[in-house]
Amino acid sequence: MADDELQAIRARRLAELQQQGSGNYGGSPSSGLPSPGAAGSTSKEDEEKQGQIEEMRRTMLFQILDNNARERLARIQMVKAEKARAVEDLLIRMAQSNQLRNKVTESQLIDLLGQINQQESGSNQSRVVFERRRFGDDSDDEEYDL
C-alpha cells in the first residue's frame, strides 16, 4: 500500500472519528441531557473516543510535519496551546483537502504562523495612546538663551 493511500485512509478515519465525537454524548436525543443510568459508561466511552481522536491527530501531524517543524509546534504549544491547536487543525484540513504535497518544513510553518498572526492582528488591533498633561506653568514652550 502506497504512502498516499495510507494517508488518505487515515484522513478519512480521522474525519469519521471527528464526526462521531461531535455527535450526541450518550444522552437522550430529545432532551440533550445525559441519561441518569449511563453516566459511568458514557464517560469511559467518551474518553476512549477522545483518546482515539487525539491519537489520529498525532499520527496525521507526524506524517504532515518534518522533525524541525514538529519541534517548533511543540514549543508553541507550551506557550500558546490554543494557537498551536488552531495551527494543527489548519494543517490537518489542508492535508485532508490534498493541499499539501510534501512534509511541511519549519520555514513553511513559520510562514503559516505569520499569516495567522496577520489575520488575528487585523481583527483584534488595539492601540495605546499617551497624552501628556499640560500645566499652566509648563516651561517647555519657553526658549532658553544660554
pLDDT digits (tens, 9 = 90+) for 26-73: 443 444 444 444 455 678 888 999 999 889 889 989 999 999 999 999
Grid coordinates representing 8?
Answer: 488518505
pLDDT (0 to 100) of residue 132: 81
**Which runs of E-coded beta strand occur in the chain?**
none
Position 77: which residue type?
Q
On whether residue 39 sits in a domain, the answer given is: no
Task: Determine how many CB atoms are found less than 10 A away from the CB of residue 104.
Answer: 21
pLDDT of residue 15: 78
Closest C-alpha among 43, 44, 56 to residue 17: 56
Between 39 and 78, the higher pLDDT residue: 78
Domain count, the chain: 1
pLDDT of residue 123: 66
Model confidence at 74, pLDDT cuts 50, 70, 90, reads very high
pLDDT score at 33? 43
> Is the confidence at residue 79, as pLDDT, over 90?
yes
Q: State the first-to-last Cα distance of the chain, in angstroms, to the nearest integer.
A: 88
Q: How confident is the model at residue 19 (pLDDT cuts 50, 70, 90)?
A: confident
Whether 32 is in a domain gets the answer no
Q: Is 138 left (phi over 0), alpha (psi -120 to 50) or beta?
A: beta
The pLDDT tens digits for 97-146 are 988 888 999 999 999 998 888 887 776 666 788 888 776 665 555 565 55
Q: Is the dihedral of CA 62, 66, 71, 76 positive or negative?
A: negative
pTM of this structure: 0.54
- Domain with 99, as residue range(s), is 7-19+48-117
Q: Residue 140: inside a domain, yes or no?
A: no
CATH of the domain at 83: 1.10.8.140
